[in-house]
Amino acid sequence: MATGKDYYDILGIKKDAKADEVKKAFRKLARKHHPDAGGSEEKFKELNEAYEVLSDSEKRAQYDQYGQYFGGNPPPGPSGAGWPGAAGGGYTNVDLGDLFGDMFSGGMGGGRPSRSSARRGRDLSYDLTLDFQEALDGVSTKVDVQRAEKCSTCKGTGAKPGTSRTTCPTCNGAGHVNQGGGMFAISRECPRCGGEGTVVEQPCSVCRGKGRVVRIKPVTVNVPAGVTDGGKLRFKGKGEPGEKGGPAGDLYVVTHIRAHPFFTRDGADVLMDLPISVSEAALGTEVTIPTPDGHKVKLKIKPGTQDGSTQKLTGKGAPRLKGKERGDLKVRTRVVVPTKLTAEERELLKRFESSHAEDLRAHIV
């Protein structure tokens, strides 16, 4: 062990720190500087060295007494008697398994994998196309979802019926292998059995040893009223089944809405183009129009209405996903100019033009 190092300073603690404070400080720094987390191996080694001494009450007492001479050359004196690094003294590697097993079990790579760990199923996605009215009203429908499920032939073992899985020869059933040595040995998932501890010698002919097969299963989903094009709905637990008792994943349904002959959506608002004639725009009128909720209402067109002008019917749009209110129906007038005229109609329009055309362009000439 190197000499001249201040172990308290390395761990960032005071000399009167209690055992649990030493452990807490080491865990925090080891997580940060562990090589698997992109840290420095030299720094990690230094942290281990400091923790090895300060976590042991006897070694810590010796270190507090001998300071920089601890573990190095004996202090000045006839023989260095009582020096903790003298022949017959020294110390052994501290067992950090409990620290690493807890610290890195979340996926940093240093923890020992558990062969019995439950695994959550994968989340799945499905694209669902709806009619315009279905999106407005909501609908309960079945969707065919492709997902991996337990093989019924081998009951999920992956082994041929009548046979069983055997102990993995690489890890001897441990599910993990060690890399490195001494206090720097790091436990890794066994590359052959994937942490299972067992392997399949005679695979099931149906799932080919995987224990799971891909099936298409109908799933009922309740689509709420007011969904939008490109919206995403989450159905908890309707994704892929978990493994070893783990929870199922979620199913995400992306909604797509077919075009409507005259309605379009803008969130909860519904837009509609209303064609009117030139005379209706000029003189005004009252027309009956449909609404998204299946009813009909009368709409007044004021005299002199211009092409592109919009009227809003409050609360006549689509339902909002949150709350009981509905959006608005926005009606935009489109003045349709006739393309075929009778001789009489032409004469009438000419007379109309002679009295209004100059006034229309007076501001630009």
Average pLDDT over residues 133-144: 94
Look at 16-20, 23-27, 58-62, 81-85 and tell me which has the smallest mean pLDDT: 81-85
Task: Quote the CA–CA distance of 46 and 44 in Å, as a whole number.
Answer: 5
pLDDT (tens digit, 9 = 90+) per residue, 264-309?
999 999 999 999 999 999 999 999 999 998 899 999 999 999 999 9
Spell out the long-range contacts of 158-161 with Cβ–Cβ below 8 A and sequence spacing 24 or more: 158/200, 158/203, 158/204, 158/207, 158/209, 158/210, 158/211, 159/200, 159/201, 159/202, 159/203, 159/204, 159/209, 160/202, 160/203, 160/204, 160/205, 161/204
Give pLDDT, residue 95: 45
**Neighbouring-strand partners of residue 179:** 186
Per residue, the 3-state secondary structure of 342-356, as one string, reads CHHHHHHHHHHHHHH
Q: Which of 41, 49, 48 is nearest to 71 (CA)?
A: 49
The pTM for the full model equals 0.58
Say if residues 251 and 126 touch (Cβ distance below 8 Å).
Answer: yes
Instruction: Give yes or no for residue 88 having a pLDDT over 50.
Output: no
CB 132 within 8 A of CB 263: yes
| pLDDT top residue among 332 and 55 | 332
